[in-house]
Structure 1
Amino acid sequence: MRTERGKVWLGVAGIVINSEGKWLVVKKTYSGLKGIWSLPAGFVQFGETADEAVVREVKEETGIDCEVTGLIGLRTGVIRQDISDNMAIFYCQPIDCNQTIKIQEKEISEVKWLTVEELVNGGEASVMLQEMASHDLFKHQLNKREDINPGDVFEYSTYKLFFNKGI
């Protein structure tokens, strides 16, 4: 899979928050995130937008259907001075708060809804997740527009814009 991605990676992660204010988190079965709480996440596939990818990844890993309502931020870094590793972090809401969690057992060992306090103080969350849970991210989120056409000359089949409406 790494060779298919080349040296510029685009991943997505979803901060899914239910009506009780709890965050949907997963424990991976592999990588540096194995056994610690992190966000449902994965890579954008050919032919999909980043926001479509996060909805797919949340569903695949947790069984929860969600919708994207905004963009929280971008995590970006370079691995071993060689690979550009980028992740768009979206704010999502579950479509139905009564959905049952269904774990993708190949990649995920556990899925839970946890409070911000549990994420920040529990000692089992990733550094990125702890940092995000420690701040009021949502008053600074970028909002989504899907009704914009940048011009037919560009031949977009899908075009979405995330921007700050002003705070």
Structure 2
Amino acid sequence: MSTKRGNVWIAVSGLVENENGEWLVVKKRYGGLKGKWSFPAGFVNEGETVDEAVSREILEETGIETAVLGVIGIRSGVIHDKISDNMIIFRLKAISSDITVQENELFEAAFMHPDLLREHIDSSLLLKSFADETFDKMLNKVDGANPGNQFGYTAYRLFL
């Protein structure tokens, strides 16, 4: 299995909550989650941090602007004994509310209550797993961290 991303994948996904306690979910047009409700997700691009990537992916797929709150999970697996598939799952707050579906990638996008998603036949395993969580523990974003100019970072993020 050859891929433009090589054999180590770094992806991001976001649990975006609105002021009503509903989560932003999408139904993808492709892949293993085709036709299933899942969190918006995508790959980290060259030159961006993981928190920048999750906000960009959500905006591209749904038109929803977000604020990153912290990290709530990591999903990691190996595909066909070859590809290391890793995803960092963030918790975000919705800043905007008008959804614009990226029709090339998605069938639909909506804000739905986690209780509905927990029981919905079309919900992904990840959605159902998170619907049972209380998020008492989260790695929070620490602003202003700088390990020193000797490293040459143009962007640096800590989640503690």
The TM-score by the shorter chain falls in which range? Answer: over 0.9
Question: Does 2:61 match 1:61?
Answer: yes
Amino acid of the structure 2 residue aligned with 1:125: S
Which amino acid in the other structure matches residue 107 of structure 1? E
Match in the other structure for 2:5: 5
- What are the superposed Cα offsets for residues 84-121 of structure 1, whole Å, 9 maximum, x if unpaired? 0000000000113xx31100000000101111111101
**What is the Cα deviation at residue 3 of structure 1?**
2.6
Take 1:78 and 1:32, find their aligned partners in 2: how far apart are those partners? 15
What is the one-letter code of the residue matched to 2:131? A
Paired with 2:3 and 2:144, the residues of 1 have a C-alpha distance of 35
**Paired position in structure 2 for 1:114:** 112
CA distance in 1, matches of 2:54, 2:81: 27
Matched position secondary structure for 2:85: strand
- Aligned amino acid, residue 126 of structure 1: S
Query: Does the CA-based 8 Å contact 1:12-1:42 persist in structure 2?
Result: yes
Output the CA distance in 2 between the equivalents of 1:148 and 1:57.
Answer: 24
1:150 correspondence with 2:151? no
What is the CA-CA distance between 1:133 and the residue it aligns to?
1.0
TM-score normalised over the length of structure 1:
0.93
Q: Which runs of 5+ in 1 are unaligned?
A: none
Q: Distance in 2 between matches of 1:94 and 1:113?
A: 10
Percent identical: 50
Gaps of 5+ in 2: none
Letter in 1 for 2:106: I
Residue type matched to 1:28 in 2? K
Q: Which amino acid aligns with 2:113?
A: T
Q: Secondary structure at the match of 1:124?
A: coil
What secondary structure is seen at the aligned counterpart in 2 of 1:159? coil
2:112, 2:156 → 1: CA distance?
Answer: 33
User: In the alignment, what sits opposite 1:103?
Assistant: 101
For 1:100 and 1:144, the matched residues in 2 are separated by 26
Q: CA deviation at 1:27?
A: 0.1
Partner SS state of residue 101, structure 1: coil
**CA separation in 1, counterparts of 2:121 and 2:132?**
13
* 1:34 Cα deviation after fit: 0.5
Partner of 1:123: 121
1:120-159 CA distance string (max 9 Å, x none): 01121001110111111x2111100121111111111000
Counterpart residue type for residue 44 of structure 2? V
Query: Partners of 1:139 and 1:46 in 2: how far apart?
Result: 32
Q: 2:67 is aligned with what amino acid?
A: E
Q: How does 1:22-33 map to 2 (within 5 A)?
A: 22-33=22-33
Question: 1:146–1:159: 8 Å Cα contact kept in structure 2?
Answer: no
